[in-house]
């Protein structure tokens, strides 16, 4: 089977041109689909001679400006060794070719949880050291735009996001935001976008890359890999080069809640006009309950219902965090700078 057989006819010429640019006249051998994330990109593993590559085709619904930004961030990250090497990236056609990196479970990192946290911090430091990514505005404003866009979503009951909008407004009023302090950020370093090749870590899927607060990527990583204060210290010190102080910890706590809200909104937005599930009235999972549901097979990775459950979990975690005892004091500490 040719790799072109797996590509919709209108995109085949662009894929053929990408392969010609990347591989010349070398024949493309074995081809295997790779499951993607919520973006809906078609991702294929291709074998050319004795080397594997990735062919990625962005959905046509992705705007040209967003393709250009994502490809530019990916190429810049590849230049500093944070992402696999890029051999072709054409925003106009939405097709890119990169090195394929075979992954091992992150749990097999030889340094254990602390070693993995340290390596993740070093990876984020490498990303932040790249030339500045494009600027999309303030992260809280970006999230506010998403909330506004979702107000008529069929996946939500009327007014369901009103408490989230109120809590976000409270954070926006208190959180200092300095555009000059923003750095290159992946903005989605979840476990599916991290590859451990047995020696080092790589980040893939850069469609959400843009300039952001230095703590955004780190906040996301704390929810998955550094849930204890000790591991959080290891992660932050590896990324920032210094032990975190109380004000930084307070800002991290607020940014972490913003990432919860961001994930809830971006995943719901990706589901588009999907009808509201019959079980939408059931209580949302907590983060721990969601992980258990995926682990024991009650939720299938990649399924729309799993994405919906993740979005509801993220939105609920945001509200729970903003309503938690002591959050007002944390927000006051952040406001003081």
Residue with tokens 């790589």: 202
Structure confidence at residue 220 (pLDDT): 98
Judge if 167 and 196 occupy the same domain: yes
Judge if 203 and 274 occupy the same domain: yes
Residue 206 has pLDDT above 80, yes or no: yes
Structure confidence at residue 36 (pLDDT): 65
Range of the domain at 161: 109-336
In 10 A of CB 192, how many CB atoms? Answer: 15
Judge if 57 and 113 occupy the same domain: no
Judge if 77 and 119 occupy the same domain: no
pLDDT tens readout for residues 79-124: 999 999 999 999 999 999 999 999 999 999 999 999 999 999 999 9
Give the burial class of 295: count Cβ atoms within 10 A of its Cβ; 0-12 exposed, 13-18 middle, 19 or more buried.
exposed
Residues 198-206 have a mean pLDDT of: 97
pLDDT tens readout for residues 301-324: 878 888 999 999 999 999 999 999
Residue 179 lies in a domain: yes
3-state helix, strand, coil in the chain (%, to 5): 50, 15, 35
Structure confidence at residue 35 (pLDDT): 79
Give the burial class of 166: count Cβ atoms within 10 A of its Cβ; 0-12 exposed, 13-18 middle, 19 or more buried.
exposed
Judge if 120 and 231 occupy the same domain: yes
Residue 48 lies in a domain: yes
Q: Collect all residues with Cβ–Cβ distance below 8 Å to 312 and sequence separation of at least 6.
A: 264, 280, 284, 285
Confidence of residue 75 (pLDDT cuts 50, 70, 90): very high
pLDDT tens readout for residues 2-58: 888 999 999 999 999 999 999 999 999 889 998 766 667 899 999 999 999 999 999
Residue 152 has pLDDT above 80, yes or no: yes
Judge if 204 and 242 occupy the same domain: yes
d(CA 101, CA 306) in angstroms, rounded, equals: 26
Structure confidence at residue 100 (pLDDT): 97
Nearest CA-CA partner of 57 in 91, 23, 24: 91
d(CA 310, CA 285) in angstroms, rounded, equals: 8
Confidence of residue 182 (pLDDT cuts 50, 70, 90): very high
Residue 104 lies in a domain: no
**Bridge-based pairing state of the strands 183-185 and 86-90:** unpaired
52-61, 156-165, 172-181, 274-283: the lowest-pLDDT one:
274-283
Judge if 133 and 155 occupy the same domain: yes
Q: Are 181 and 214 in contact (CB under 8 A)?
A: yes
Q: Are 142 and 259 in contact (CB under 8 A)?
A: no
Eight-state DSSP code of residue 282: S
Domain final residue, candidates 36, 64, 99: 99
pLDDT tens readout for residues 243-286: 899 999 999 999 999 999 999 999 999 888 888 887 777 889 99
Q: Are 301 and 294 in contact (CB under 8 A)?
A: yes
Q: Are 178 and 153 in contact (CB under 8 A)?
A: no
Question: Could you give the number of structural domains in the chain?
Answer: 2
Judge if 260 and 316 occupy the same domain: yes
Residue 56 sits in a domain whose CATH number is 3.30.200.20
């Amino acid at each position: 089977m040719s790799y072109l057989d797996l590509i919709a006819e209108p995109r085949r010429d662009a894929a053929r041109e990408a392969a010609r640019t990347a591989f010349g006249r070398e024949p493309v051998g074995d081809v295997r689909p790779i499951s993607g994330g919520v973006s809906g990109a078609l991702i294929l593993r291709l074998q050319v001679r004795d080397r594997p590559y990735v062919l990625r085709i962005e959905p046509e619904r992705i705007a040209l400006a967003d393709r250009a930004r994502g490809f530019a961030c990916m190429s810049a990250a590849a230049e500093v060794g944070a992402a696999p090497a890029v051999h072709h990236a054409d925003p106009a056609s939405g097709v890119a070719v990169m090195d394929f990196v075979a992954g091992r479970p992150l749990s097999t990192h030889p340094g254990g949880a602390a070693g993995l946290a340290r390596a993740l911090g070093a990876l984020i430091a490498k990303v932040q050291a790249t030339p500045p990514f494009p600027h999309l505005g303030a992260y809280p404003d970006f999230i506010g735009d998403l909330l506004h866009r979702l107000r008529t979503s069929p996946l939500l009951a009327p007014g369901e996001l009103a408490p989230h909008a109120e809590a976000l407004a409270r954070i926006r009023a208190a959180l200092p935001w300095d555009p000059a302090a923003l750095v290159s950020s992946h903005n989605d370093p979840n476990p599916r976008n991290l590859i451990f090749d047995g020696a080092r870590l790589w980040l893939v899927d850069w469609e959400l890359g843009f300039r952001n607060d230095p703590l955004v990527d780190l906040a996301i990583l704390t929810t998955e890999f550094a849930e204890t204060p000790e591991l959080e210290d290891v992660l932050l010190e590896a990324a920032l080069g210094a032990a975190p102080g109380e004000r930084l910890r307070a800002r991290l706590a607020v940014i972490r809640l913003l990432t919860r809200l961001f994930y809830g909104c971006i995943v719901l937005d990706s589901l588009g006009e999907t009808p509201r599930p019959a079980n939408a009235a059931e209580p949302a999972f907590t983060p721990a309950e969601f992980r258990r549901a995926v682990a024991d097979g009650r939720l299938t990775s990649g399924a729309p219902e799993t994405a919906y459950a993740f979005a509801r979990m993220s939105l609920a975690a945001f509200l729970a965090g903003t309503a938690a005892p002591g959050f007002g004091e944390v927000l006051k500490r952040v406001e003081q700078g």
